[in-house]
């Protein structure tokens, strides 16, 4: 903290200076200062991680996790970075890898983010692929050895450097640092984390052709008795003839294996022209294709052009289409509507996402997923099965908290960051419940709810929507119900309160009533009360139902996101932009709400309200007071994470 705080001040003041009237030469110098400061902060963070490992103070925190979901989330996170560089990113988990294991998924994420991030950074064109299979030891009585391999088509590594790159402050050569940046600590930290997880790491590489980073880790097995299993999944998609279209051979192989595992009959095509031939032949033979899954970005003829052709053919016009895309482009939404594409998925695609999309477009009901049993028998209210929940929330801290609470209750969760994304995600998938934040960018929760209700009108459908808001203002409940919401929940989300809401709406034994009132709740030790000046850890722990692992994750997320939140607020104040300041202050306020620090929360809320009124005259003065309080909160959070 003593190093980071002055460095953050240097970087922040440099940002402010860049917004002033400086000469071109001064601007160039300031940019160099800022870039050097950012590089130094990265180095500081790496050194702190490395020193903690070297001192033996880093302990693993094992927990039960769903292998394909957890690794899929990591790869989805890296997808944007790969797609902005024009690269294909894919992952392949072999069928014999267990569904659930026990391990430190946070540290596994750190290893993969580093290896996949490096692969993306050092690859100019082609692909980056993660493959996960059983290691040589396989599955034993209490442990499973996993073998993970990250393959790229990048610059490669000279033979004499393949060992030294795992040493601290080492890279392939000095020109690598000059061209690509980096501290030379990432792989050193990665190799030590792998050893902590009982494994080893090595690299195979061909200069100019690419690299393969292999590592093994030991994970604990999950006792089948502790896994809550629903009825076996009905074979609702078996024998369905599916055409998978992608110009990337790796993606095509992974798609084919997924579809085969569900007893479907996949046929693959390496491009749209080949797909057209297959569709015609299948129709003429009297054994037509029943579903098309196509990539959007393909040479010559793209996925939308293929969809247009399918819709123009009388015998094929009703064929369901799922579109896979590497990123949104202007006009994509209108094209999907024009060609009646019911589902589109962002690559890389998780197995669960694809299955949900398949059963949605084929018009069958999904069976519930297999979920790990709750650690406590009273976690999930009696009478409520696992729910599929769509969370519409733009704040990263609130996302992490809500995900942790819902997963603790045994439910699955999908996240949308804006009202528009929430509508699209709801329309393309099947959910039992939407938790809808009121204030979001692009379209707020009230507008999104009203639009969902409008689209439901032609049918008898009615999805439950529960509003989430940071504070109960007079009239909020009425506005939520008027927009079509079913209920109302105050943030931060607390396990006990959310359980009561779910029990009210989804327990078959509970009476179906109208939306519960925001007021009139019975006092309890987790009631929303704020400490004065310091973090109220009792309230914070209540919010996560005493789940210390989740609490550490949320605190780390807040610490990671805090520099961005502060920078955006400072930039808005300096620019005198009231609208931008209102948005930035709202995001900051949403992250701080979880901590139960009343004076700081109220100060940021005041800053937001003044900005919404167009008053930014005294924003700099108010911000100076807020920054001092945030510095104290930051120190408390760092101290908490440093405790073993």
Q: Residue 288: is its pLDDT beyond 70?
A: yes
CB atoms within 10 A of CB 339: 19
Q: Residue 633: is its pLDDT beyond 50?
A: yes
Confidence of residue 532 (pLDDT cuts 50, 70, 90): very low
Question: Residue 608: helix, strand or coil by DSSP?
Answer: helix
- Amino acid 268: pLDDT: 97
Fold match, 1-55 / 529-644: no
- State residue 554 phi and psi, 5-degree precision: -65, -45
- Amino acid 9: pLDDT: 66
CB atoms within 10 A of CB 606: 14
What is the per-residue pLDDT across 557-593, written as a single tens digit (0 to 9) for each? 888 888 888 888 988 888 888 888 988 888 888 778 7
> What CA–CA distance (Å, rounded) separates 466 from 391?
10
Of 225-234, 288-297, 536-545, 567-576, the one with minimum mean pLDDT is 225-234
CA angle, residues 87, 93, 95, in degrees to nearest 5: 150
- Stretch 511-517: mean pLDDT, rounded? 33
Q: Which fold has domain 1-55?
A: Helix Hairpins (1.10.287)
The proportion of the chain whose per-residue pLDDT surpasses 70, expressed as a percent, equals: 80
- Stretch 321-334: mean pLDDT, rounded? 76
Peptide bond preceding 492 in cis form (omega within 30 of 0): yes
- How far, CA to CA in Å, does 578 sit from each of 55, 442, 553, 571, 603? 48, 17, 33, 11, 16
**89 membership: H or E segment, kind and range:** strand 88-93
> What CA–CA distance (Å, rounded) separates 637 from 555?
7
Q: Are 287 and 239 in contact (CB under 8 A)?
A: no
What is the per-residue pLDDT across 304-314, written as a single tens digit (0 to 9) for each? 999 999 999 99
> What CA–CA distance (Å, rounded) separates 25 from 434?
52
Confidence of residue 77 (pLDDT cuts 50, 70, 90): confident
- Amino acid 530: pLDDT: 37
What is the per-residue pLDDT across 223-240, written as a single tens digit (0 to 9) for each? 766 665 444 444 568 889
4-18 helix and 24-54 helix, angle to the nearest 10 degrees: 160
Of 217-221, 529-533, 568-572, 596-600, the one with minimum mean pLDDT is 529-533
DSSP conformational letter for 244? E
- Amino acid 477: pLDDT: 67
- Stretch 638-644: mean pLDDT, rounded? 69
419-428 helix and 445-456 helix, angle to the nearest 10 degrees: 30
Q: Tokens 């895309």 appear where?
A: 325
Listed ranges 141-150, 341-350, 606-615; the one with the highest mean pLDDT: 141-150
Pairing relationship of beta strands 210-221 and 201-206 according to DSSP bridges = antiparallel
Note the Cα 585 to chain centre separation in Å: 23
Pairing relationship of beta strands 464-469 and 433-437 according to DSSP bridges = parallel
What is the per-residue pLDDT across 332-391, written as a single tens digit (0 to 9) for each? 777 888 898 878 888 889 888 888 888 888 875 444 333 343 333 334 444 466 788 999
Average pLDDT, the chain: 79
Of 264-268, 523-527, 627-631, the one with minimum mean pLDDT is 523-527
> How much is the pTM?
0.53
Taken in order 268, 270, 274, 276, the sign of the CA dihedral is positive
- Stretch 604-620: mean pLDDT, rounded? 80
Pairing relationship of beta strands 88-93 and 127-139 according to DSSP bridges = parallel
Q: Residue 58: is its pLDDT beyond 80?
A: no
What is the per-residue pLDDT across 460-484, written as a single tens digit (0 to 9) for each? 678 899 998 765 454 566 678 778 8
Q: Residue 517: is its pLDDT beyond 90?
A: no
Of 105-119, 194-208, 357-371, 603-617, the one with minimum mean pLDDT is 357-371
What CATH code is assigned to 374-519?
3.40.50.2300
- Amino acid 330: pLDDT: 55
Confidence of residue 12 (pLDDT cuts 50, 70, 90): low
- Amino acid 526: pLDDT: 42
- Return the higher-pLDDT residue of 403 and 89: 89
Q: Residue 594: is its pLDDT beyond 70?
A: yes
The domain segmentation of the chain, as residue ranges, is: 1-55, 63-227, 241-361, 374-519, 529-644
DSSP letters spanning 554-572? HHHHHHHHHHHHHHHHHHH
Question: Residue 125: helix, strand or coil by DSSP?
Answer: coil
- Amino acid 364: pLDDT: 56
- Stretch 546-562: mean pLDDT, rounded? 81
> What CA–CA distance (Å, rounded) separates 358 from 343?
9
What CATH code is assigned to 529-644?
1.20.120
> What CA–CA distance (Å, rounded) separates 504 from 486?
11
What CATH code is assigned to 63-227?
3.30.565.10
Taken in order 572, 573, 575, 577, the sign of the CA dihedral is positive
Task: Decide: residue 351, CB within 10 A, 0-12 exposed, 13-18 middle, 19+ buried.
Answer: middle
Confidence of residue 178 (pLDDT cuts 50, 70, 90): very low
> What CA–CA distance (Å, rounded) separates 449 from 439?
12
- Amino acid 331: pLDDT: 64
Peptide bond preceding 68 in cis form (omega within 30 of 0): no
- Stretch 261-290: mean pLDDT, rounded? 94
Nearest to 248 by CA among 206, 291, 294: 294
> What residues contact residue 219 under an 8 Å CB cut-off, 6+ apart?
101, 102, 103, 143, 144, 145, 146, 197
Q: Residue 551: is its pLDDT beyond 60?
A: yes
- Amino acid 599: pLDDT: 72
What CATH code is assigned to 241-361?
3.40.50.2300
Joined together, the tokens standing for residue 79 give 């997808």
Q: Tokens 């997320």 appear where?
A: 557
Confidence of residue 289 (pLDDT cuts 50, 70, 90): very high
- Return the higher-pLDDT residue of 274 and 382: 274
What is the per-residue pLDDT across 415-437, written as a single tens digit (0 to 9) for each? 888 889 899 889 888 888 999 98
């Amino acid at each position: 903290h003593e190093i980071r705080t002055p460095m953050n001040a240097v970087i922040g003041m440099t940002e402010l200076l860049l917004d002033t009237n400086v000469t071109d030469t001064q601007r160039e110098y300031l940019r160099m200062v800022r870039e050097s400061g950012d590089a130094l902060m990265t180095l500081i963070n790496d050194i702190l991680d490395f020193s903690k490992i070297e001192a033996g103070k880093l302990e693993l925190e094992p927990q039960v996790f769903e292998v394909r979901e957890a690794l899929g989330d990591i790869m989805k996170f890296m997808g944007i970075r790969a797609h902005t560089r024009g690269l294909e990113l894919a992952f392949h988990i072999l069928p014999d890898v267990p569904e659930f294991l026990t391990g430190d998924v946070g540290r596994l994420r750190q290893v993969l983010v580093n290896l996949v991030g490096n692969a993306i950074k050092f690859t100019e064109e082609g692909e980056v692929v993660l493959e996960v299979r059983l290691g040589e030891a396989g599955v034993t009585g209490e442990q499973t050895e996993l073998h993970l391999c990250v393959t790229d088509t990048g610059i490669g590594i000279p033979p004499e450097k393949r060992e030294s790159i795992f040493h601290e402050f080492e890279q392939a050569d000095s020109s690598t640092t000059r061209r690509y940046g980096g501290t030379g600590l990432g792989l050193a930290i990665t190799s030590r984390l792998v050893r902590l997880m009982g494994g080893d790491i090595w690299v195979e590489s061909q200069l100019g052709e690419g690299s393969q980073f292999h590592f093994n880790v030991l994970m604990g097995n999950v006792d089948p008795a502790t896994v809550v299993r629903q009825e076996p999944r009905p074979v609702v998609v078996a024998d369905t003839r599916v055409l998978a279209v992608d110009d990337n051979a790796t993606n095509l192989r992974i798609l084919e294996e997924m579809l085969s595992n569900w007893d479907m009959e996949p046929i693959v095509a390496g491009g749209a022209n080949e797909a057209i031939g297959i569709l015609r032949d299948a129709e003429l033979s009297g054994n037509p294709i029943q579903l098309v899954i196509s990539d959007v970005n393909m040479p010559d003829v793209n996925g939308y052009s293929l969809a247009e052709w399918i819709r123009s053919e009388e015998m094929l016009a009703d064929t369901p289409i799922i579109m896979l895309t590497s990123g949104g482009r202007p006009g994509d939404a209108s094209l999907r509507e024009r060609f009646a594409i019911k589902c589109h998925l962002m690559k890389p695609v998780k197995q669960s996402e694809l299955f949900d999309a398949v059963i949605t477009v084929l018009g069958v009901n999904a069976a519930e997923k297999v979920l790990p049993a709750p650690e406590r028998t009273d976690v999930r209210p009696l009478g409520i099965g696992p729910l599929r929940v769509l969370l519409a929330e733009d704040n990263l801290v609130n996302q992490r908290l809500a995900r942790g609470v819902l997963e603790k209750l045994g439910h699955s969760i999908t996240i949308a960051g804006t009202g528009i994304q929430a509508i699209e995600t709801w329309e393309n998938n099947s959910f039992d419940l939407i938790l809808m934040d009121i204030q979001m960018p692009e379209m707020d929760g009230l507008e999104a709810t009203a639009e969902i209700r409008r689209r439901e009108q032609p049918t008898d459908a009615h999805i439950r929507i529960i509003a989430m808001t940071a504070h109960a203002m007079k009239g909020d409940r009425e506005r939520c119900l008027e927009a079509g919401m079913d209920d109302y929940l105050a943030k931060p989300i607390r396990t006990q309160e959310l359980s009561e809401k779910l029990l009210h709406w989804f327990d078959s034994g509970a009476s179906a009533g109208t939306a519960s009132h925001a007021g009139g709740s019975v006092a309890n030790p987790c009631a929303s009360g704020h400490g004065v000046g310091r973090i109220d850890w009792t309230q914070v722990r209540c919010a996560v139902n005493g789940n210390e692992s989740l609490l550490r994750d949320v605190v780390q997320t807040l610490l990671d996101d805090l520099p961005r939140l502060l920078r955006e607020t400072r930039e808005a104040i300096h620019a005198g932009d009231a609208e931008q300041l209102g948005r930035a202050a709202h995001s900051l306020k949403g992250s701080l709400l979880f901590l139960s620090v009343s004076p700081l929360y109220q100060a940021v809320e005041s800053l937001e309200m003044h900005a919404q009124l167009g008053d930014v005259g005294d924003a700099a003065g108010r911000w100076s007071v807020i920054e001092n309080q945030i510095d104290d909160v930051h120190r408390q959070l760092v101290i908490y994470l440093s405790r073993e």
